Structure 1
C-alpha cells in the first residue's frame, strides 16, 4: 500500500512539475502569431491600412503572423497586454503605467520621437477645447482661462487616458485648489457630474475622437482630447497650432465619427505637452530574442521611411504618425514615464 501511495504521489508531482514547466516554457516559446492591441483612438476603419502596414513589416522581418486586436474601450487594450492575450499594445503613457502596475512584465519598447528624432521633444498635446462661438466665455482680452469651466458639461476621453483625463484633470485640480472654495478638490471629484459636483455633467467619449464629437455635437460645453488623435479629421483655421486661441475646423471629407459634424469649428483654451505614447510588450509572451528583433525592426529606417507609418506633410493618407523632419520610433525605458506617475501622487 505504501509503495502504491508513493508511486501515485510521485506521478502527481511529475504531472504538476511538467505542467509548470510547460506553462513557464510556453510563455516565451517561439510563437507563430503576434497580437497587437490598439486603443479605441487607433482602432477606426480609417486607420486600418496604417495598422496593417506596421503588421506587414513585422511579418516580413520575423516570419510571424500579426493579428490586430482593435478595441472600443481603453481597459480592454490595457488588460489584453497585461494578461498576455496581446503581445504588443500601443498605449498612452497612463495606459502603459496601468498595464505595468497590473503586470510588471509589461514594458515599453519604443515611442515616436519628436521632430529632432530623439526623446528630447517626444511630446504631443492635451487640449481643452470649446465651440468657437463660446470662446469669449473663456477669454479675458487676449488671454485664455479655464475659470469658467466649473459648472459646465465636460467631456473626458476615459479615466485611463493620459491626455484625455490624467493630465487635464490634474491641471484642473492644481488650478482650482488654489482657490478657497475648491481647496479640497481632487481628481476623483471630477469623475462624475451633478448639482453638488464640480461639473454639472461629465461625459466620456471612449476615444479622443468621441470626446471631440461630444463637444462639436453640443453634448458638452468643454472637452479634453489630444492633437494627434484628431489631426486626421481637422485642420487649422486660425491662429497657431497647439496654442490657446487656435481655431480648428472639421474637414469636409472627415471620416467617422466626424462625418456628422463636418465644418464645425472649435477653439483651444488650454494646451499642455504630454509624453508620447509607447508600444509596450508583454515580456512573458515575447522572449528576449524576439524582443531584440522587434526593437531593431521598429527603430529601423524601413519603418521610419515608410510613408504609411510616418506620413509626410501634405499627404492625405490617414496614418498614425506625422513626418515633419526627423521623426522615428526610438527605444524607451520605464523610468521615462515617471513624470506621468508623479501626477497620481
Structure 2
C-alpha cells in the first residue's frame, strides 16, 4: 500500500512538471515570433514610375524577409504624395514607409504612430544629413548671417528645405524677416541652388544659400559647381571645405545645422514591439552594401555594385529625436511646409 501511494505521488509530481513545461513552451518568450506577421506593407512616394521605385528597395526587402522569422511577403505601396502615405499609416494599411525628413515630422504631428527604423547613409561612417551654406564673394563686407540686413539675398525656392526653410530659421534667430515681403533684406528666389550661387558670383545678389553638395562632395572633394566648372573654387571661412581656394569665386561664411537624412519609419500601431525590434536590428546591421555583397544578395565591389539601397550604402540606427532639428525649424519659421 505504501509503495503504491509513493508511486502515485511520484507520478503526480512528474505529471505536474510535464504540464508546467508544456505551459511555458506554449506561452513562449517575450519575443515569440509565432505572433509576428507573415506579410507587411511598405510604402514610398515615387520620383519616377512605380516599377522603378520598387526596385530601389529590392535588396533591403530580400534581406528583411530572409532574416525575420515568418516574414514571407512585403507588399509595396506607392502613394502619389506624402499625404496619402501618412493617411495609409494612420488607417493601418501601411506598416513601414520611406519618408523625407519634413514629411516624417509632419506624419508624427498628425496622428501617425511611428518610430524611426533606420536612416539611409552614403557609408558606414557618413553623417546622415546635409547642410545649407551661406556664401558671398571673396572680399565682400558680408562676413556672417548677421551682416545680411539691407542686402540682396538669394534663396532657392520658398519650398526648399536647404534653400529656404533652414536658412529662414537662421535669419529669424538673427532678428531678420526672411519672407518675400521682408523689409530687413531684399529676398530673391533664384529657382535653383546653382542659380542662387551663380547670382552671387555675377553680383546679382550680395549673398546666397545653397546645399553643401554644390560646393563639396561627400568625400570632401569638389562639389557639383566646382567639378562642373561653373565656379573655380571655394574658400570656407567656417570649416575645412576649401576647394581650389587660390582661385575661389565664393566664400562660405555660415552653415545651418545638419538637416536630417530621410528615415525609414515603422508603424507602432500595427506591428508588435518585438517584431519592430527585430526589424530595426536587421535593417541597421544587415541592410547594407557590405553585408549584401558578402552574402550573395548582389554582385560587384563596395564602390560599384548591383545592390539596391536606393543610391546609398545602407542603413544606420537613429532615434526619433534625430529629427528635432526639423521640429525646431517648423516651430521658429511657422512654415506652411510643416502644416
Does 1:171 find its partner at 2:170? Answer: yes
| Residue number in structure 2 paired with 1:88 | 96
Q: Is 1:54 aligned to 2:39, yes or no? A: no
Closer, same or farther: CA 244–194 of 1 in aligned 2, 3 Å: farther
SS of equivalent to 1:108? strand
- In the TM superposition, residue 100 of structure 1 has moved relative to its aligned partner by 0.8
Q: How does 1:25-44 map to 2 (within 5 A)?
A: 30=37, 32-38=39-45
C-alpha separation in 2, matches of 1:319 and 1:267:
35
The C-alpha deviation readout for 1:128-166, integer Å capped at 9, x for no partner, is 367xxxx5288449x56684595445224736x4x4554
Describe the SS at the equivalent of 1:296: helix
Which 5+ residue runs of structure 2 have no aligned equivalent?
Answer: 1-34, 228-232, 333-339
Deviation at 1:298, TM superposition (A): 0.3
In structure 2, the partner of 1:128 is 133
TM-score by length of 1: 0.54
CA distance in 2, matches of 1:198, 1:217: 19
Partner SS, residue 332 of structure 1: coil
Paired position in structure 2 for 1:63: 72
- Quick one: distance in 2 between partners of 1:299 and 1:213? 34
8 A contact 1:138–1:148 mirrored in 2: no
**Kept after mapping to 2: 8 A contact 1:105/1:283:** yes
CA displacement 1:58-83 (0-9 Å, x = unmatched): 34443213415365x55555555455
1:330 equivalenced with 2:316 (yes/no): yes
Distance in 1 separating the partners of 2:65 and 2:198: 41
Aligned counterparts of 1:44 and 1:153: Cα–Cα separation in 2: 35
The separation in 1 between residues aligned to 2:137 and 2:251, in whole angstroms, is 10
How far did residue 169 of structure 1 move? 1.6
Q: Report deviation, 1:173.
A: 1.6
Shift in alpha-carbon separation, 1:217–1:139, aligned structure 2, 3 A: closer
Q: Give the 5 Å matches for 1:92-241.
A: 92-112=100-120, 122-128=127-133, 135-136=136-137, 139-140=140-141, 147-148=147-148, 150-156=151-157, 158=159, 161=161, 163=162, 165-175=164-174, 177=175, 182=176, 185=177, 190=179, 193-194=180-181, 198-202=185-189, 211-212=192-193, 215=196, 222-225=208-211, 227=213, 234=224, 237=227, 238-239=233-234
More strand by share: 1
Distance 2:328 2:115 in 1: 18
Contact 2:118–2:283, Cα closer than 8 Å, also in 1:
yes
Shift of 1:270: 3.8
Cα distance in 2, alignment partners of residues 85 and 157 from structure 1: 33
TM-score by length of 2: 0.55
Deviations 1:234-292 (A, max 9, x none): 375445899587569xxxxxxxxxxxxxxxx9875543341443211222233435423
Residues of 1 paired with 2:46 and 2:155: CA distance? 22
Distance 1:122 1:312, change over 3 A: farther
Tell me the residue number matched to 1:272: 256
SS of corresponding position for 1:285: coil
Aligned residues: 266
Q: Secondary structure at the match of 2:60?
A: helix
For 1:4, the equivalent position in structure 2 comes to none
CA 1:296/1:213 → structure 2, altered by over 3 Å: closer, same or farther?
same
CA shift at 1:223, angstroms? 4.6
Q: Post-superposition shift, 1:87?
A: 2.7
Shift of the alpha carbon at 1:97?
A: 2.0
For the pair 1:297 / 2:263, whether they are aligned, the reply is no
Counterparts in 2 of 1:70 and 1:136: CA distance versus 1, 3 Å: farther
